[in-house]
């Protein structure tokens, strides 16, 4: 029994380990980081949308002016989540930002986040009063939710472009890719 275990251990240890070079890992790490940042930013914007929808439901259910304390709490949460979403989008890698389709989508997202921040500012200005008319709150929060939802579509396009860019990069760096040897590209990094 002991001889079998020793033979098995020798057999396992004699097998060459698959070598992974930093060049193989780098494109995947960059893509993973970009996808993480896009997902994190979308999550922040989803939280902001939830707060906008909560305010909307509250104003519709109350059918009375919305108190400034309720507004301030939710508007602060919307503003903070929009700020976090914007800063997370800025963390996308330079490679993704240099892609024209990603740049276009990021510009669209930035425009939408700015629109939401303007709407939040308008409601914050109104909330300095004792209470704000529920119709105004409903209209503003509907507009916020629409802008945020539209940014989600652009976020999906960013995520798709990041995946496609990673696949293009991995064809150059990955020796297992069919393009690695036949296009001659792989010979520059051997």
Protein fold of 24-188: 1.20.120
Chain segment 122-160, per-residue pLDDT in tens: 999 988 877 889 999 999 999 999 999 999 888 888 888
CA distance 15 to 178: 25
Residue 88 CB partners (closer than 8 Å, separation 6+):
37, 40, 41, 44
What tokens does 158 get? 């960013």
Beta strand residue intervals within the chain, DSSP E? 66-67, 131-132
pTM of the model: 0.72
Give residue limits of the domains in the chain. Answer: 24-188
Q: Which range scores top for mean pLDDT: 10-14, 21-25, 95-99?
A: 95-99
Residue 175 CB partners (closer than 8 Å, separation 6+):
24, 181, 186
pLDDT greater than 80 at residue 97: no
Residue 185: burial class (beta carbons within 10 Å; 0-12, 13-18, 19+): middle
């Amino acid at each position: 029994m002991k001889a079998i275990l020793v033979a098995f251990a020798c057999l396992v240890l004699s097998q060459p380990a698959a070598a992974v070079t930093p060049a193989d890992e780098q494109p995947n790490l960059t893509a993973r980081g970009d996808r993480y940042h896009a997902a994190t930013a979308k999550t922040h914007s989803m939280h902001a949308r939830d707060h906008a929808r909560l305010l909307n439901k509250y104003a519709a259910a109350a059918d009375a002016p919305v108190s400034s304390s309720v507004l301030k709490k939710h508007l602060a949460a919307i503003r903070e989540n929009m700020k976090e979403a914007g800063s997370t989008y800025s963390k996308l890698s330079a490679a993704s930002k240099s892609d024209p389709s990603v740049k276009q989508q990021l510009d669209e997202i930035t425009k939408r986040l700015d629109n939401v921040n303007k709407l939040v500012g308008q409601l914050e200005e109104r909330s300095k009063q004792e209470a704000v008319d529920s119709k105004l709150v409903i209209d503003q929060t509907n507009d916020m939710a629409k802008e945020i939802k539209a940014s989600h579509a652009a976020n999906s396009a960013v995520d798709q472009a990041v995946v496609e860019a990673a696949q293009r990069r991995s064809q150059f760096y990955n020796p297992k890719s069919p393009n690695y040897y036949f296009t001659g590209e792989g010979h520059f990094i051997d």
